[in-house]
Amino acid sequence: MPLLEICQLKKSYATPDGGTLVVVDLPEFKLEAQTQVALSGESGSGKTTFLNLIAGILAPDSGSIKLNGLELAGLRESARDRVRATTIGYIFQTFNLLQGYTALENVLLGMSFGPGADREFAKSLLKRVGLDAKLNHLPRQLSTGQQQRVAVARALANRPKLVLADEPTGNLDHTNAGESLKLIREACRENGAALLLVSHDREVLAQFESVQELGKLNRAAK
């Protein structure tokens, strides 16, 4: 059974002129457990909306999203929050670290709403991403690359089955992007998490054995 199974997924938004804009219209998508898949997608291809639907941040208009055997589409918002807290890790392009929290606290928060705070595991994750000397640093005291690594550690903090990465290297320079991508892939592998990454960067996509084009999968993007 696939870890993620999507069928006839649709999401649209109301436009200011009273019309409807379909952003996602995806007949089928599957992702096996512990695999790593990259989705290529240009601006407007609906990639962030697609990831937000999988994460349960957005509710679909119709269709089915089965994650780890659980149908997300019919769940109430609080139940989707629970699934996200326990099953999904999310890495954002802009990292989205909480600025008032230290690196360690950011990682601890990543597990607090799910399995519960485990200080030692949080420290071990930060050590894994090379930040064991920066546990008590605030995001503004870290370089961009270091902030990205905190975000990676936080995404893995709740021991997720699936890590979603939305243009994770988009804000990094060439060298940092390469290292960061390698770290994300290794860390997911080590923690038994599947990785679904979206990017429009050809160099990033070239690192993946499995790349699918969201523009072709998503009928709304055509």
Does 137 bind other proteins (CB under 8 A)? Our answer is: no
CB contact at 8 A, 97 and 146:
no
Among 28, 62, 70, 100, binds other proteins (CB under 8 A): 100
Does 132 bind other proteins (CB under 8 A)? Our answer is: no
Closest by CA position to 24, among listed 84, 65, 74: 65
Backbone dihedral region for residue 181 (phi beyond 0: left; psi -120 to 50: alpha; all else: beta) = alpha
Does 180 bind other proteins (CB under 8 A)? Our answer is: no
Among 32, 68, 113, 144, binds other proteins (CB under 8 A): 113
| Residue closer to other proteins, measured from CB, 136 or 182 | 136
Does 15 bind other proteins (CB under 8 A)? Our answer is: no
H or E element at residue 104: helix 103-112
Among 158, 180, 191, 212, binds other proteins (CB under 8 A): 158
Q: What is the DSSP string of 128-193?
A: HTT-TT-TT--GGGS-HHHHHHHHHHHHTTT--SEEEEESTTTTS-HHHHHHHHHHHHHHHHHTT-
Tell me the sheet residues that pair with 91: 165
Question: Candidates 30-38, 81-89, 124-132, 141-149 — which segment interacts with other proteins by CB under 8 A?
Answer: 81-89
List residues binding other proteins (CB under 8 A).
Answer: 23, 43-49, 52, 55, 57-58, 77-78, 81-82, 84-86, 90, 92-94, 96-101, 105, 109-110, 112-114, 117, 154, 158, 166
